Each structure stands twice: as C-alpha cells, then as structure tokens.
Amino acid sequence: MLFRPPGSCKPPGDDCLVLVVDSLRKGADLQPHTMTLFKPTALPLLATLAAFPLLAACGPDDAAVAQGEGAATELVCGARQAAPGEPMVYFAPFDEAERQTLCALDLAREELVVAQYNIRRDSYLNKLVELKARGVAVRVAVDQANAAQDWNTGDDFLEQNGIEVVRTKPPGARSIMHLKVAVVDGALALTGSFNWNSTAALTNDENMVVLRDPAVVQAYRQQVLEVLGALAPAVQGGQLTPEMGLHFSPEERLDEVLVQAIAAAEQTVDVAMFTFTSEPVADALVAALDRGVRVRAVIERKQTDMTKVDERLDKAGALVVRGANKIAAHSAMHHKYAVIDGRRAVTGASNWTDAGTRRNDEDLLLVDLPRVAAAYAGSFADLLHVYAEIDDPEAAPAERAGVLLHVIHDGTKPGDRVVATGDHPALGDWDPRRGLELQTAQDEFPNWTGRFKLEAGRRIEYKYVTLTAAGAVVWEPGANRVLEAHASGRALVVSAPFGDTSKSWTPASAP
C-alpha cells in the first residue's frame, strides 16, 4: 500500500521517504521535533497517523500541514448525527467541511462509490486507499478531460493502489462529469459544490450536505453506478420524499426545474452562484422581480465577464454582489445554491449554465426543510457581509461568527508550522503549542488559512507564530492584532501578511 505524502505531485516510490514528526514535548519551552524515517510501504494503516503532522521529503514546495499538538479540536461527526429528514449542512471556509467529509467516508464498512469531478487533495486520496485496505469496495468516477491533465495525478495514484477508477464524461463534445457525490454503504450520501481538492478545503466558499434519507441516498447511488458504467442510464430524479426533490442532468433539464422553482417564489429568492449564464433561469428571476419578489444574487466576479446575466438582474432591480474570493490564486466563491422564500434550499453541483443544467453530469437537490433553508439563509447573509459589507437585517443572528484567518507567509520551510494564538480558547489562550493550526498546500502557498468560531460581539487580540522544524518559536513583532465579531455573528475573513504588525496592521483600538 503506497502512502501519498501531502502536496506530492506523484505517488512516492522507494526513493521517496516520509517524515513522521513526533508530537511536541511537554514543557515551558517548545522543544525540537524528533524525526523518524520510514519507507512508504512500511507505514502502518494511515488511520494511526492521523495525530501526527506529516510532510514529504520530496521538495521545498510541499507545505501542507496537518493538525499539530493542541490544534486539533474535537469533531462532532455530522454523518453520525444526520437522520432521515434531518440532513447536516456545512459551509466552507467557515465550517470544517473537509474533516466532516473524511469522517463520513471513514464510516464505510462494505462499499463506497464516488463520483467527483477531480480528487487532488492527499487527505481524500489516502482515506480512499485506507478504506480499500480495510476491505471496503471502493469505486471512483472522475471527469475524463480533467483526469487527462498532467497536473492531475490523483486518479493514477488510486489505480496504483488497486482502486477501480473510471474516467468518464456524458455525451457531447464539451460535456463533463461534474458531480461531487459519495455514497457510503448505500446508507449515507454526500453532495454539494465541494470538490476534493485543496482550494475547496482551505479557501473556497463551498457547501456540503450529508443525507440519510433512504430514497434520496438510493437515487444518488444509482446515479453514481450509472456514471461508473455499472448501470444503464435512467431517470433517477423526482420528488423522492415529501421534503426532498432530486434531479440529474443530462437525463433531465435542470434549468426547467429551476424555472419552476423560481416561478413558485412568493417573496424572496437569494442566489449564490459560481457561474450564472443560463438565460431561461435569468428570465425566471426577472419575471419574479416583475411580480414583486425580492431577488439577491452573489456571483463570483471572475465568472461575470462571460455573461450579461448579472447586468440584466441589476437593471431589473435585483441586488447583485460580484464576490471576488482573492485568498489564493485559484480560490473562488464556488457555491451553487439558492434559498426561496426562506423555506426551500436548492443546491447541488450544477452551475446555472447551459452545460451545467442540460449536458453535464450534475445534480440538483431541492430541500423543503426549515432548518436546512435557515442554514443556507445564514450562509447567504455571511456572503453579503464578507463580499459587500452588508449586514442583512432580515437574517437571524448567529451566536458565533465563522472566522477565516488568512496570513501570507512565504518565509517557511518544509516542516515549519504556522499558528494563530491569542486570548481565546480556540487560539490556545496565548500558548502557541495549543494555537490554531493554519494550513497551506502546494497550490495555495504562501497563503495559510485556519478557521474558528468567535462569539458574536466578542473582541480578541492575537498574533501569528511560526513554529520551525528546528524548534524555534518566532512571534510577529509589533502590536497585537485585534479582531471583533459583529453583534449579528456574521462571518469574517481577515487577511494580512506575516511580519511586523506595526508596518502591516493597525489595532482596532488605535486612533
């Protein structure tokens, strides 16, 4: 069984060693790490390594960081909490969407079927290999064209570890397999906008749903088996439970489903969409505005150049926010959801484009559950706050604000860790050994991010600290950084360079 080091661009061979960094020693001062070298094939089951920071001795660009001592927080596994009629929903970058996904996958005992546009992040690749080693039947479908890219080697790694991989696409010259679905033991399904790559895990705006409704899970399983080529194509969608409708393209026209849903709106439609070019869906929103429905949309700025839909909605009276997620080179406001009348959530992998609603392998999930709709409404209010500094007066206040800390730090070396520490338990109460562990990746460096929850209205002070592989503790000089959550509990993204805060940061208390 091969182990793929974090950030590695190809599976390791016999000449590639993995460094397992032992936990920090106890004591008043940070002590040097001890290093143990293993041949990859001699590693025990990967589950036993989850507590250790990992890095690869395969090049200086690999800066991926795992949880260190004191940084890992106890995770309440949403996959265990989900029940029929009670899905769990997570919103990156403010929730632990990656950890929740891995927790759900870890529940597999017999079968895991996956249809993911691409799988590039090592945490997922290693988890799939681990499950295969445990005797789980793992089958994976990825998009054919994406898998053919030189930089996309995750599918090759899975095959080298004995996992069945199908590189596929639906009919049509430019169609893609764009699903982000996993089904665990035929009893649990994951879907949403969340790709299994580092950008989604660390910086993107994403959503992920965990479902245990038998009819819905079975439909997802059937669809994934179709994509894998194990079943003949058939229409799996429809109103599967009183509260959930599910539809798949290209078997169905998802734009028609969306038009019908928008036509039924009576008061409000809020849309968060990575790419929105569909004229039929835009027509439906304009018609909704004409009959007095309030329409708001947050659209990724980099995608608006390819369409005039945002301009049409602006002109018709909608509030349009062009959200620019600039945390890293490839980060994006990547959601694909809507909230209708505050009681219906519409989500899935589908962008609102002609290809995304007609030709690609996509899903569209409609959920009529107040708790789920409220969660998506809260996420939309967070987007308005982050991208337009709008505090939505109609949004229910949150008890705790999701905070994404983003520091630009290019002075680290392989084995170094970056933490945020300050006067809050999530930041280790000024103990860097228990601070909030920030992460980066080969595609994200020098951007490091970490997330935590801050009580609404609370003001804290903090700093960034580098914990070097040699054991040094390097604090930022200058005044403490200051962060205060809004009384509404809306989300915050705080970006800054690492270094002398007197040059890069003005404390909120300063005149």
Domains detected in the chain: 78-228 (3.30.870.10), 244-388 (3.30.870.10), 397-511 (2.60.40.10)
**By three-state DSSP, how is residue 306 classified?**
helix
For residue range 296-333, what is the model confidence (pLDDT) as tens digits? 999 999 999 989 999 999 999 999 999 999 999 999 99
The overall longest dimension of the chain from CA atoms, in Å, is: 68
Q: Is the pLDDT of residue 6 over 70?
A: no
Q: Are strands 268-273 and 336-340 parallel, antiparallel or unpaired?
A: antiparallel
For residue range 428-448, what is the model confidence (pLDDT) as tens digits? 999 999 999 999 999 899 999
pLDDT reported for residue 4:
40
Cα–Cα distance for residue pair 473/418, rounded to 1 Å? 10
Choosing from 33, 132, 169, 180, which is the catalytic residue? Answer: 180
Show Cβ contacts of residue 292 under 8 Å, excluding neighbours closer than 6 positions.
Answer: none
Q: Is the pLDDT of residue 59 over 50?
A: no
Give me 272's structure tokens.
Answer: 């968060």
Query: Are the C-beta atoms of residues 468 and 474 closer than 8 Å to each other?
Result: yes
> Nearest to residue 182, comparing CAs of 96, 241, 106, 82?
106
Q: Is the pLDDT of residue 20 over 50?
A: no
pLDDT reported for residue 23:
28
Cα–Cα distance for residue pair 339/265, rounded to 1 Å? 10
Choosing from 33, 127, 132, 178, which is the catalytic residue? Answer: 178
Percent of the chain whose pLDDT exceeds 70: 84
Mean pLDDT of 97-102: 97
**pLDDT band at residue 502, thresholds of 50, 70 and 90?**
confident
Give me 228's structure tokens.
Answer: 């894998």
Query: Are the C-beta atoms of residues 70 and 31 closer than 8 Å to each other?
Result: no
pLDDT reported for residue 236:
74
413 is catalytic: no
74-78, 142-146, 263-267: which has the minimum mean pLDDT? 74-78
pLDDT reported for residue 7:
39
The one-character DSSP state at 355 is I
pLDDT reported for residue 235:
80
pLDDT reported for residue 73:
60
Residue 470 phi, psi dihedral angles, 5° rounding: -85, -5
Q: Is the pLDDT of residue 99 over 60?
A: yes
Query: Are the C-beta atoms of residues 426 and 48 closer than 8 Å to each other?
Result: no
Length of the chain: 511
End-to-end CA distance of the chain: 59
1-15, 131-145, 228-242: which has the minimum mean pLDDT? 1-15
Query: Are the C-beta atoms of residues 269 and 338 closer than 8 Å to each other?
Result: yes
Show Cβ contacts of residue 237 under 8 Å, excluding neighbours closer than 6 positions.
Answer: 219, 245, 246, 247, 248, 251, 252, 364
- Average pLDDT over the chain reads 86
Cα–Cα distances (Å) from 344 to 18, 215, 369, in that order, read 48, 19, 7
185 is catalytic: yes
143 is catalytic: no
Query: Are the C-beta atoms of residues 320 and 288 closer than 8 Å to each other?
Result: no
Q: Is the pLDDT of residue 66 over 50?
A: no
**pLDDT band at residue 135, thresholds of 50, 70 and 90?**
very high
**pLDDT band at residue 505, thresholds of 50, 70 and 90?**
low
pLDDT reported for residue 234:
86
31-35, 70-74, 289-293: which has the minimum mean pLDDT? 31-35
Long-range Cβ contact pairs of 79-85 (< 8 A, separation 24 or more):
79/103, 79/104, 79/107, 79/184, 79/188, 79/210, 80/107, 82/188, 82/210, 82/211, 82/212, 83/212, 84/212, 84/213, 84/214, 85/213, 85/241, 85/243, 85/369
Give me 91's structure tokens.
Answer: 């919103």
Q: Is the pLDDT of residue 50 over 90?
A: no
Cα–Cα distance for residue pair 501/481, rounded to 1 Å? 7
**pLDDT band at residue 233, thresholds of 50, 70 and 90?**
confident
Choosing from 185, 314, 368, 391, which is the catalytic residue? Answer: 185
Structure-token match 């190809």, residue found: 10
For residue range 341-385, what is the model confidence (pLDDT) as tens digits? 999 999 999 999 999 999 999 999 999 999 999 999 999 999 999
